[in-house]
Structure 1
Amino acid sequence: MIEELVSIVVPVYNMGNSLEVCVDSLLKQKYYNIEIVLVDDGSRDNSLEVCYKLQKRDSRIQVYHTENRGSGPARNTGIEKATGRYIYFPDADDKLEEDAIGILVDAMENGRYDLVVFGYQSIDAKGNVVLKKQYPDMKRNGEDVRQDYSDYVVSTRRYGIQGAPWNKFFDLNVIRKHSIRYPSLRRHQDEGFISRYMCYVKNIHFIKAILYNHYLNDLKKEWDKYPVDYVDAVIGLYQTRKETILTWNEKDRKTKEIVEHEYICNIIKAFELSYSPKMKLSSRNRLKWIRKQIERSQVLKVVMPLSLGRYQKIIFTLLKKRHINLAILIMHIKIIIEKNGGLDAFRRLQ
């Protein structure tokens, strides 16, 4: 039996210290017929040098270099270069179980399914497994899923589809046919891509196997991950949601509430990030900036979901009543408490 070619696209940005471990896990796959597409996204460290070193080790590795545009455009470059039947998108600092690709190809059942969703485990900096996500073995019709997406739209739900792409296996023919690409956002681009892909999925196969090891980032460095234009990503994702998920079934109120809940929370997060040193905003300019983003995002036109956490309800209510200064003060207090180790207290409010 001929093995279908699987394209594995890895976006690389400043991953010189961890990339080799990731690629080793790909080269050790029992399923041999793979191509590994490494896309260096304008790294400032030695990542590109490491990519070329790895390329010399195995002819299945291809290396491409682009200017820094974010992981979404980097993955789009990978899609354009990929020649396989199936495509997979791991992160450059994670590891894949050595039998994973073979299991995933089998789960596609020679094109019967166009999406496979599988389990993973999250590992902290000390090597402790802090989360295991396992799906029941389940087969679902794509149209049925789209008609009632509330159990799938949140990655933490039992059947969560939305989220990262590294625990999904995609049909590259579907991507090519419908010209599906990652949106050019600095955050949430994965969510946008999966929303777009889900528009065309005919059959989904959930499998029990835990095949991916996801290494968590240091929470103390969480703010460093967010770009200064994070609010653009939030607005961009919501627009993509309105063009995809929210068009599938106008009567699906649960899904609409989940999407709007997410939008409000992300907008508030973007406002909190105005205190990041990267923003370099004075108090006066912060107020002006937040007012501008409120208008631009049109977030106050969203009906407040009942599911919203207490903290977000307070902030959102104050913004609706135009008590913006008080909302900013409460956000600032929250940030100070978080930075001084009081994060759990605020998490209970969300």
Structure 2
Amino acid sequence: MSEELVSIVVPIYNMGNTLERCVNSLLYQSYSNIEILLIDDGSTDNSLEICNELKKKDSRILVYHTENRGSGPARNTGIEKANGRYIYFPDADDKLEKDSISILVSAMKKGSFDMVVFGYKSIDVKGNIYLEKQYPNMIKKGEEVRKDYSDYVLSTRKYGIQGAPWNKFFDLNIVKKYSIKYPELRRHQDEGFISSYVCHTKEIRFINDVLYSHYLNDLKKEWDKYPVDYVDAVIGLYKIRQETILAWNNEDKKTREIVEHEYICNIIKALELSYSPKMKFNRKERLKWIKKQIEKSQILKVVMPLSLGRYQKILFILLKKQYIFVAMLIMYIKIAIEKNGFLEFFRKFQ
């Protein structure tokens, strides 16, 4: 019996330093019937050159170049070009264990499964294991998962499904049949894709194998990775969740509270970004911008979840009472302490 073709889609943007590590981990898979679609998303470094050199070495590699639109549209290009029975989405700076694809195909074919979820390791910048996530061996009906999604909606939960796609294995037939795509958001596009996919799952299989190594970014630089229009991504994800996760079961109050908790926290994060050097705001401009984002997000119409942390709760209450300048001061102090220590607090508040 011939092996099913597996399409592996890798979005790439300025990953010249780590790309070969990722691709080599795919080429050396014990399961050989794969196609590797490298989607260069308008890189400005030597990523495209490396992709083309790798292509010369192995006929299973296909290279596509697009203008820079983000990893979501890049993955959508991969979906359009993919010819496999199954599809997998690793990141270009991570790596996969040698037998992973073989294990995943076997797991998918042992029943009527349309998604396999597996474990991973998070590696910090010093090469240490920061986190190891392992799932119990388990089978769940899609209908059961959608009825109460509270144990699945956060990647930190025991059975967390939402989050990155690199620890999930998907059925490409389902993706194409229902035209499931990554939304064109600059962040959280993975979350949108997964919730849209789960709408159509009949059975999900969890396996306890730890197959993926995810390399963390320098936490000091993580703040700079957020785009200036991050608030639009947060609003976009919330709308998708209203149409998917929150529409599955109106009585699922726990999941609604988790989703609204995360929405408030992400909007606050977006407001904090007004202090990013990318924004170049003075105090008056920042105040005007924050007021506009509060109105656009309709965040103050969300019922405050009891689970909110102290910092978010204080800010939410201040914003509700229109004490925006006080909220700005608190955000400034928090950011200054995180990035520069207590001395920054004594600098001039702009």
Partner of 1:320: 320
Q: Describe the superposition over 1:105-127 as per-residue Cα deviations: whole angstroms up to 9, x where unpaired.
A: 00102661000000000011111
Tell me the SS of whatever aligns to 1:261.
helix
Question: Where does 1:269-280 land on structure 2 (aligned, <5 Å)?
Answer: 269-280=269-280
CA distance in 1, matches of 2:110, 2:337: 53
Q: Describe the superposition over 1:140-172 as per-residue Cα deviations: whole angstroms up to 9, x where unpaired.
A: 000000000000000000000000000000000
What letter matches 1:243 in structure 2?
E
Partner of 1:142: 142
Question: Where does 1:76-225 land on structure 2 (aligned, <5 Å)?
Answer: 76-109=76-109, 112-225=112-225
Identity percentage of aligned residues? 76
Which stretch shows the higher mean deviation, 78-87 or 220-229?
220-229
Q: Describe the superposition over 1:56-98 as per-residue Cα deviations: whole angstroms up to 9, x where unpaired.
A: 0100000000000000000000000000000000000000000
Q: Describe the superposition over 1:3-47 as per-residue Cα deviations: whole angstroms up to 9, x where unpaired.
A: 000000000000011100100000000000000000000001000
Partner of 2:234: 234
CA distance in 1, matches of 2:135, 2:234: 28
Tell me the SS of whatever aligns to 1:65.
strand
Superposition RMSD in Å: 0.8
Q: 1:110 to 1:86 in 2, by over 3 A?
A: farther
Tell me the SS of whatever aligns to 1:75.
helix
Partner of 1:346: none
CA distance in 2, matches of 1:4, 1:332: 54
Tell me the SS of whatever aligns to 2:29.
coil
Instruction: Give, in angstroms, the shift of residue 341 of structure 1.
Output: 4.5
Instruction: Give, in angstroms, the shift of residue 340 of structure 1.
Output: 2.3
Q: Describe the superposition over 1:268-289 as per-residue Cα deviations: whole angstroms up to 9, x where unpaired.
A: 0000001000011111011000
Partner of 2:39: 39
Question: Where does 1:288-299 land on structure 2 (aligned, <5 Å)?
Answer: 288-299=288-299
CA distance in 1, matches of 2:339, 2:60: 45
Partner of 1:18: 18
CA distance in 2, matches of 1:167, 1:27: 18
TM-score, normalization: structure 2? 0.97
CA distance in 2, matches of 1:172, 1:92: 20
What letter matches 1:225 in structure 2?
K
CA distance in 2, matches of 1:226, 1:55: 32
CA distance in 2, matches of 1:184, 1:127: 32
Tell me the SS of whatever aligns to 1:132.
strand
What letter matches 1:167 in structure 2?
N
Partner of 1:53: 53
CA distance in 1, matches of 2:196, 2:174: 11
Q: After TM superposition, what 4+ stretches of structure 1 lie above 2 angstroms from structure 2? A: none
TM-score, normalization: structure 1? 0.97
Q: 1:110 to 1:65 in 2, by over 3 A?
A: farther
Tell me the SS of whatever aligns to 1:64.
strand
Partner of 2:75: 75
Tell me the SS of whatever aligns to 1:220.
helix
- Across the two proteins, how many residue pairs are aligned to each other? 342
What letter matches 1:47 in structure 2?
S
Tell me the SS of whatever aligns to 1:158.
coil
Tell me the SS of whatever aligns to 1:130.
strand
Partner of 1:347: none
CA distance in 2, matches of 1:138, 1:263: 30
Partner of 1:300: 300
CA distance in 2, matches of 1:161, 1:277: 34
Instruction: Give, in angstroms, the shift of residue 2 of structure 1.
Output: 1.1
CA distance in 2, matches of 1:275, 1:57: 46
Tell me the SS of whatever aligns to 2:296.
helix
CA distance in 2, matches of 1:173, 1:190: 19
Unpaired segments of 5 or more residues in structure 2? Answer: 343-350
Instruction: Give, in angstroms, the shift of residue 130 of structure 1.
Output: 1.1
CA distance in 2, matches of 1:159, 1:341: 36
Tell me the SS of whatever aligns to 2:62.
strand
What letter matches 2:298 in structure 1?
Q
Partner of 1:311: 311
Instruction: Give, in angstroms, the shift of residue 136 of structure 1.
Output: 0.2
Which stretch shows the higher mean deviation, 137-146 or 103-112?
103-112
